[in-house]
Amino acid sequence: MNTSHTATSQNREAPASARLEQRRIIAVLIAGQILGGIGMGASLSLGSLLSVEVSGSAAWSGMAATMNTLGAAAFAIPLARAAAARGRRVSLALGALISGIGAGIAVAATALSTFPGLLLGLALLGAGTAVSFQARFAATDLATAKTRARDLSIVIWSTTIGAVAGPNLFEPGEAFGKLLHMPPLTGAFAFTVVAQLLAALVYVKGLPAKSVKEPTDTAPVRRQISGFAVLRSNTKARFAVTAVALSHGVMVALMSMTPVHLHSHGASLAVVGIVISLHIAGMYGLSPVFGWLAEKAGRLPVLLTGQGMLSAALLLAWFAPDTMVTPSLILLGLGWSASLVAGSALVADAVQATERPAVQGVSDLIMNLTGAICGALAGPVLAALSYSGLATLTMALVVVVTAWATRRLVTSRQQKTS
């Protein structure tokens, strides 16, 4: 009798203990995301100006975003492997540390007027972006299927705080940089170094040694799992990764060319800044809402809702490129958010716990490479076909995801009714 009572008590306590641990992990991830966001927002926004300053040519102004995206792609799989082998604590802390080192290299390269060194520093900063993306998956490690979408969406939302606060550190950063006799435009990078080091410390102190769930009956010998191998054999995972990547590509293609389009039509930098700020608010501000909807209505309906908003954004850019840019960019951010939250939850749902870090690393790699490719191609397309033409061609990516998601939704509902 006592034994039965003890067992029942333990079964009741285990879920409560797990929920408490999950809340603590989410709090740590949010704190790390805020610190990382402050650092990235303070430095990457100035990266294009530094690229022009150090290279001596405005033609290199886009290299800051390009190197950051490529750096994020390059670190995606190594950090995922570190998570699988050593846990999220090591992976996220290591990525934040590398990002802080990158900021320091960028400052040194600016002082020495070494453009390749600056590019190296900006690429290493991409590790911070990779950490930001992988933190959303870290939120799913101990989450249940019912709370997975909500938990990752809250971590995504927390990025908003750092993204908004970071650019406001330009002037304080410059004042601080003068005290340290740092080169012009690099003061904010000092904040980046401190913020990333603090983020690394938060991850080390706050996250458990092993945050990725593993079956208790597995052998102690670990086997490296290839994310690409899982995608080849897992149709659900392949679909989810593709949906996230193409949605990200749509967002990057149109967003990256909007400042150029607005500037060519006489918009001031203040107007461009407001439009991009509203776009960023759309990207992150409502992610918890989309996480809640993904739990209540299902992943695929929310993903299709995201594709609908991306379509609306592209249609506005197509038919009214001179008057409806702001609503278009807001819808673009909202569509990206809904698609990322639902798609990321689908990635986590589609694979076993031990496969998750590897697949998530490949997902982030493909997403960042897709964004880099779409961003690179968007410039020539804009020059050849205008902003409206860019929106028209980008619609093809939305059609692919919409058709595939609709097919999966119909099939799923047919299976439930049969």
Domain ends where: 176, 211, 246?
Answer: 211
Does residue 240 sit in the same domain as residue 189? no
Encoded tokens for 297? 């209505």
Does residue 158 sit in the same domain as residue 265? no
Range of the domain at 354: 225-418
> What pLDDT is recorded for position 166?
62
> What pLDDT is recorded for position 300?
94
Domain ends where: 183, 211, 239?
Answer: 211
Does residue 254 sit in the same domain as residue 123? no
Q: Is residue 218 part of a domain?
A: no
Instruction: List, for residues 283-309, the tens digit of each pLDDT value.
Output: 888 888 999 999 889 999 999 999 999
Does residue 231 sit in the same domain as residue 206? no
pTM exceeds cut of 0.85: no
> What pLDDT is recorded for position 41?
60
Domain ends where: 151, 179, 211?
Answer: 211
Q: Is residue 300 part of a domain?
A: yes
Does residue 255 sit in the same domain as residue 359? yes
> What pLDDT is recorded for position 10?
40
Does residue 189 sit in the same domain as residue 62? yes
Q: Is residue 7 part of a domain?
A: no
> What pLDDT is recorded for position 11?
41
- Look up the CATH number of the domain holding residue 60: 1.20.1250.20
**CB neighbours of 133 closer than 8 A, spacing ≥ 6?**
72, 76, 364, 367, 368
> What pLDDT is recorded for position 120?
94
Does residue 130 sit in the same domain as residue 188? yes
Does residue 329 sit in the same domain as residue 286? yes
- String of DSSP letters for 67-79: HHHHHHHHHHHHH
Domain count, the chain: 2
Q: Is residue 119 part of a domain?
A: yes
Q: How far is Cα 411 from Cα 75, in angstroms, rounded to an integer?
A: 36
Does residue 173 sit in the same domain as residue 278? no
Is 363 within 8 Å of 216 (Cβ atoms)? no
Which ranges of the chain have pLDDT less than 50?
Answer: 1-14, 214-222
Does residue 74 sit in the same domain as residue 193? yes
> What pLDDT is recorded for position 4?
45
- Tell me the torsion sign for CA atoms 161, 329, 72, 246: positive
> What pLDDT is recorded for position 249?
92
> What pLDDT is recorded for position 58?
61
